[in-house]
Amino acid sequence: MKYLITGGAGFIGGHLAESLIKDGHSVTVIDNLSTGSEKNLSAVADSPNFDFVKGDILNLPELEYLISKSDMVFHLAAAVGVELVVHNPVFTIETNVHGTERVLSGAKRKKTKVLIASTSEVYGKSQKELFSEDDDLLIGPPKHSRWSYASSKLLDEFLGIAYYRSMNMPVIIVRLFNTVGPRQTGQYGMVLPRFVSNALTDKNIEVYGDGAQTRCFCHVADTVRALKYLSANAKAFGEVFNIGGKDEISINALAEKVKDILRSSSKIVHIPYEEAYEKGFEDMRRRVPDTGKINALTGWRTELNLDKTIADVAESLGKQ
């Protein structure tokens, strides 16, 4: 099989490229390296089954050609990270919406299969105990740029499903919940690598807000398995799937766990949201996925726990 990964030099894309090539497939990666890094592709850079194209999907002339030569596109290119989203909302919206539009338009001639990576952010301020794919969604007001990312990715979902229904395009939507693991950077606000990096150097572990907000973390290796399972299953076309961990943990407890596992002397300090991001910043208090749908279709479930994930992130950061 020939795969194209947009945003493939990113954290998830690099792991996905490695896994696909290990399985014997051919992989082409497109990335403008604005947030990704060629270091994420170092393990496959010399493989005869790997090609790298440096370019932006918003204006890359050969995008449709590259899509036409592929059996499937994993569309991972997006503006990511809360800090980037809050401070550059125009870039966020244009990258996410126009990028997805170009990928789907380029895929329609040959009806190339497309998997679009969306986000748990689309659930917005939902108060449900578990987030499931058919839930109503509650997004915050446009005056808070925090929600520009969620809205742009939700529009990506609507566009993908519209292509499926109107043109019989084989499109799959996945909503990723806090994927973490080796090679992830804390540069754009990703919480776990930021905590681990500070703990390794005994710097203050900064918890934004009161720390009572909860998340579920999924090791990137588990996420990659889920992406591969769905991409190989025709019954996934036209559907939306949650991909995420099963164990809910508060950010305060996460900070304590990181300290304990790494035997760090770091202090845990709390930073107000308005100091960390912007005035009026709104956060999701809980973000827990219902993964019953993907489990029922493919049998997928997480295999790597949070302790293992923290250890893997620490090992990766220690090598940098």
> What is the greatest pairwise CA distance in the chain?
58
pLDDT at residue 292, as a whole number: 98
More confidently predicted of 188 and 165? 165
Confidence of residue 187 (pLDDT cuts 50, 70, 90): low
DSSP string computed for 270-304: EE-HHHHS-TT----S---B--HHHHHHH-----S
* pLDDT at site 24: 97
- Residues 6 or more apart whose CB falls under 8 angstroms from that of 169 comprise 104, 107, 108, 111, 114, 163
Give the model's pLDDT for residue 70. 98
Q: Which of 210, 285, 212, 195 is nearest to 253 (CA)?
A: 212
* Count of other CB atoms within 10 angstroms of residue 105: 14
Instruction: Give the pLDDT of residue 319.
Output: 56
pLDDT in tens, 70-98: 999 999 998 776 666 677 788 888 889 99
Using alpha carbons, list the distances in angstroms from residue 8 to 81, 129, 303: 16, 33, 24
pLDDT score at 98:
95
Low-confidence winner among 69-83, 243-257, 290-304 (lowest mean pLDDT): 69-83
Mean pLDDT calculated for residue range 297-312:
96
Q: What is the pLDDT of residues 34-65, one digit of tens each?
A: 888 999 999 999 999 999 999 999 999 999 99
pLDDT, average across residues 17-25? 98
Question: Among the options 149, 163, 164, 208, which is catalytic?
Answer: 149
Across all residues in the chain, what is the average pLDDT?
93
- In the chain, the percentage of residues whose pLDDT exceeds 70 is 96
pLDDT of residue 320: 52
With tokens 């696909």, the residue in question is: 20
Residue the block writes with tokens 């973390």:
217
Is pLDDT at 133 greater than 60 in this prediction?
yes
Q: In what order do the strands lie in the sheet with 113-119?
A: 50-54, 26-31, 2-6, 72-75, 113-119, 171-176, 240-243
Residue 280, pLDDT above cutoff 80: no
Domain ranges of the chain: 2-181+219-245+289-303
Candidate from 68-82, 94-108, 110-124, 209-223 with smallest mean pLDDT: 68-82
Question: Do you know the residue count of the chain?
Answer: 320
SS3 124: strand
Neighbours of 207 (CB within 10 A): 22
Candidates 3.90.1170.30, 3.40.50.620, 3.40.1190.10, 3.40.50.720; CATH matching 2-181+219-245+289-303? 3.40.50.720
* 8 A C-beta contact, residue 56 and residue 35: no
Q: Is 188 annotated as catalytic?
A: no
Q: What is the mean pLDDT of residues 195-205?
A: 95
* Of 114, 82, 77, residue with least CA distance to 3: 114
- Cβ atoms within 10 A of the Cβ of 277, count? 23
Average pLDDT in the 219-232 region? 98
The crossing angle, in degrees rounded to 10, of helices 146-167 and 89-107 is: 10
Q: What is the mean pLDDT of residues 200-215?
A: 94
Predicted pLDDT of residue 140: 86
What is the phi/psi pair of residue 178, to 5°?
Answer: 45, 65
Contact 102, 57 (CB under 8 A): yes
Q: pLDDT at position 108, please?
A: 96
- The residues, ordered by sequence, that sit 6+ positions from 164 with a Cβ below 8 Å of its Cβ are 170, 171, 237, 238
Q: What type of residue is 139?
A: I
Q: Residue 235's pLDDT is what?
A: 98
pLDDT reported for residue 82: 64
**Residue entry with tokens 């973000």:** 287
Structure tokens at 188: 């754009």
The H or E element containing residue 247 is none
Which pLDDT belongs to residue 276? 73
Instruction: Report the chain's terminal Cα–Cα distance, integer Å.
Output: 33
